[in-house]
Amino acid sequence: MKRTIKLRINGSEHELAVPANALLLDVLRNDLHLVGTKRGCDMGTCGCCNIIIDGRAVNSCLVLAFDVEGRDIQTIEGVTASADDDSIHPLQEAWAECGGSQCGFCAAGFIMTVHALLENEPQPNRAGIAEALGGNVCRCTGYKKILDAVELAAGRMAATT
């Protein structure tokens, strides 16, 4: 049986009807068509579905939608350089420049995780970035280019603030 749920995603309020057992990942992708968030392992082991809830990166495949009513949810669709337009974020720019993604499937999860990290710690060192990315798996890049991209973006973001 479906019930009404109110979710705040990327600053906008959404009201829809979903069943009690709905996972946040499914609501994002199937009901709200925010398909930037990817379903990988569906068991919390790959990080492809990572989003940000109240400033913390979490696996959306292991979150019940009804558990996060009233919380602040951010997905890759909300990651832009400026709040007024959809220009690409320095992290996305650096990802493209450094070759941080090849097949691209894991990229949104990585970027959301790092986005949360940089909010709390704008200048992490390489080991700190690697530690924060301990829940994200990439099968193409070998991770070096991802770490390069985060360092590049963090440096640029620090220089402009």
Partner 1 sequence: MILPTFELHHPTTITELVEIARDLTAQGEAFDYMAGGTDVLPNYKNRLNPRPHVISLARLAGLDEIGVDRIGARALVDDLARSSVLSEHYPGLVEAARSVSSPPLRNLGTIGGNLLLDTRCWYFNQSEFWRESKGYCMKADGDVCLVVPQKEICYATYSGDLAPVLLVLDARVTLVGPDGERTVPLREFYAFDGITRFLKGPAELLTAVDIPSSSRELRTGYRKLRMRDTIEYPVAGVALALHTDGDKVGRLEVAVTGTEAIPLWYGDLDLTGQPATPATAEALQEALVDRVTCYRNVPFPPGYRKAMTGEYARELFSALVG
Ligand X SMILES: Cc1cc2nc3c(=O)[nH]c(=O)nc-3n(C[C@H](O)[C@H](O)[C@H](O)COP(=O)(O)OP(=O)(O)OC[C@H]3O[C@@H](n4cnc5c(N)ncnc54)[C@H](O)[C@@H]3O)c2cc1C
Per CB under 8 A, the list member of 2, 6, 17, 19 interacting with partner 1 is 19
Number of chain positions touching partner 1 (CB under 8 A): 29
142 contact choice in ligand X, partner 1, none (CB below 5 to 8 Å, kind-dependent): none
Which residues in 18-57 contact ligand X (CB under 6 A)? 44-45
Nearest residue to 103 (alpha-carbon basis) of 139, 135, 129, 136:
139
> What distance in Å separates the CA atoms of residue 62 and residue 80, rounded to the nearest whole number?
26
Binding mask 105-144 for partner 1 (x = CB under 8 A): --------x-----------------xxxxx-x-------
Place of tokens 């959809």: 86
Percent helix, strand and coil across the chain, each rounded to 5? 40, 20, 40
Closer residue to ligand X in complex, CB, 45/125: 45
Per CB under 8 A, the list member of 9, 23, 118, 149 interacting with partner 1 is 23
Kindly report the number of other CB atoms within 10 A of residue 56's CB atom.
Answer: 11
Residue 60, helix vs strand vs coil: helix
> What distance in Å separates the CA atoms of residue 113 and residue 106, rounded to the nearest whole number?
11
Can you give the binding site for partner 1, defined by CB under 8 A?
A: 19-21, 23, 26, 42-45, 47, 50, 56-59, 61-64, 66-68, 113, 131-135, 137
Can you give the binding site for ligand X, defined by CB under 6 A?
A: 44-45
